[in-house]
Amino acid sequence: MLSQLHNENRMRRTRNNIWIFIGIVVLAIFITACDADNSTSPGDKSTLDRGRTYTQWLYQNQIHDLWDHVSDMAKMQMGNDMGNLATYRDLLIGGLGEEVSLLNERVLKIQSTHFYERTANFTGLPMPGVLEWWLNDSQEILLLDGRALEPEAHSNFLEYHTKTQLRLPFDGEWVVLWGGRTTLDNYHAPARDQRFAYDFLVMHGGWHYTGDGSRNEDYFCFGLPVVAPGAGIVVTAEKNVPDNTPPEENLAQPGGNYIVIDHENGEFSILGHFRQGSIAVNVGEHVTPGQLLGLCGNSGASDLPHLHYHLQNTPTFLSGEGLPAQFQNYRANGKRIDRGEPTRGQLVEVR
């Protein structure tokens, strides 16, 4: 139950980020499930107005007003103590500082969860920052998150076309937790090797776990199969790193249990955070697309179960340059995609 300025391993978070989770600190996921149609619905207008109101209450330290609009679930996770919300607010504003100028607002939705995103310049940050509110269908507060938006790493591969015939590394419908080419949509983007990385998880009913989220088994993706995204040879298979208990992390072993696949064309797939003891392949083994690699876990620099994936031009984890990973033959928010790069918040599945 805390909020803090992070300066941690680049595998996990962008430096100087501020993360607040109502009740438990996790990897904050701002899920966006918008189509190309950017028209505003009545629900969007309600979320926009409510997000603006909550932001002003936050800035003006109107804790009682905010508390009256926190969901029962979030209150329970905070021990039904309004003082914890006041602490979150002070830590967040202490890191961001005052808002100087508003740059952009965005309203999005996935399943029954609504999101209001506010990008602005703040006195406490040397770069723009973003506030994100998670709201339920009743417009009650589920989560508040704030972070700095670092610039994206330079890349020599912005126009690169993936050589490997890639499929999504799972079956069934997953959510793109982080993915895209901007720091706004992908916190990995400031890291040179993970410039185009993805994090995936599973959501049901607009949320990513059941219970109180204190056990790995509470998370819908924990223990689900992870499969080979393309043909190649396994060159690294770390299998014995213990899974973390949410929201703990193992920053000393950032990849946790991870696999590197050499696609034998200068491209290397890296998949991370497997469940301890679940990796089913060995170094030197040739894998085929869709072959079981292991189970989704929560090992390494991970504070909640999810799958990390990225493509790069060397076989060594945390070195080299990231490459765009263009997957083939999948659905994104129900739309058929022949070849594309999934983006943050999309619901994706192999078609």
- What's 15's domain CATH number? 3.10.450.50
Residue 163 lies in a domain: no
If one counts the domains in the chain, the total is 2
Give yes or no: residues 141 and 180 share one domain. Answer: no
Give yes or no: residues 181 and 329 share one domain. Answer: yes
Give yes or no: residues 116 and 214 share one domain. Answer: no
For residue 43, the model assigns a pLDDT of 55
Residue 122 lies in a domain: yes
Tell me if 216 sits within 8 A of 245, measured CB to CB.
yes
Give yes or no: residues 196 and 144 share one domain. Answer: no
For residue 6, the model assigns a pLDDT of 30
3-state secondary structure of 218: helix
Q: Mind listing the pLDDT tens digit for each residue in 98-119?
A: 999 999 999 988 778 898 999 9
Give yes or no: residues 12 and 74 share one domain. Answer: yes
Residue 90 lies in a domain: yes
From residue 261, alpha-carbon distances to 3, 29, 133, 282, 303 in Å are 37, 27, 38, 11, 25
Q: Is 209 exposed, middle or buried (0-12, 13-18, 19+ CB in 10 A)?
A: buried
Tell me if 196 sits within 8 A of 325, measured CB to CB.
yes
Q: Which helix (H) or strand (E) holds 347?
A: strand 347-350
3-state secondary structure of 80: coil
Block mean pLDDT (10 aa), the chain, length 351: 27 33 34 37 77 97 97 86 95 94 90 90 96 93 91 97 98 95 93 97 88 92 98 98 95 97 98 98 98 98 97 96 98 97 94 91
Tell me if 225 sits within 8 A of 219, measured CB to CB.
no
For residue 331, the model assigns a pLDDT of 98
Residue 155 lies in a domain: no
As a whole number of angstroms, the distance between CA 304 and CA 252 comes to 16
What CATH number should be reported for the domain holding residue 272? 2.70.70.10
Contacts of 205-212 with CB under 8 Å at 24 or more apart are 205/111, 205/112, 206/110, 206/111, 206/112, 206/113, 206/136, 207/113, 208/29, 208/175, 208/304, 209/304, 212/23, 212/24, 212/77
From residue 22, alpha-carbon distances to 14, 185, 187, 252 in Å are 20, 21, 20, 27
Residue 8 lies in a domain: yes
Q: Mind listing the pLDDT tens digit for each residue in 183-239?
A: 989 999 999 999 999 999 999 987 888 888 889 999 999 999 999 999 999 999 999
| CA distance between the termini of the chain | 40
Residue 154 lies in a domain: no
Give yes or no: residues 289 and 141 share one domain. Answer: no
Give yes or no: residues 274 and 317 share one domain. Answer: yes
Which residues does 172 contact at the CB level (< 8 Å), separation at least 6?
Answer: 202, 224, 349
Give yes or no: residues 143 and 178 share one domain. Answer: no
For residue 35, the model assigns a pLDDT of 36
- CB atoms < 10 A from the CB of 171, how many? 14
Give yes or no: residues 139 and 194 share one domain. Answer: no
Give yes or no: residues 130 and 225 share one domain. Answer: no
Give yes or no: residues 182 and 324 share one domain. Answer: yes
pTM as predicted: 0.84
Residue 162 lies in a domain: no
Give yes or no: residues 193 and 238 share one domain. Answer: yes
For residue 24, the model assigns a pLDDT of 31
For residue 256, the model assigns a pLDDT of 97
Domain that holds residue 211: 174-350
Task: Out of 113, 132, 148, pick the residue that ends a domain.
Answer: 148
As a whole number of angstroms, the distance between CA 140 and CA 87 comes to 19
As a whole number of angstroms, the distance between CA 347 and CA 351 comes to 12
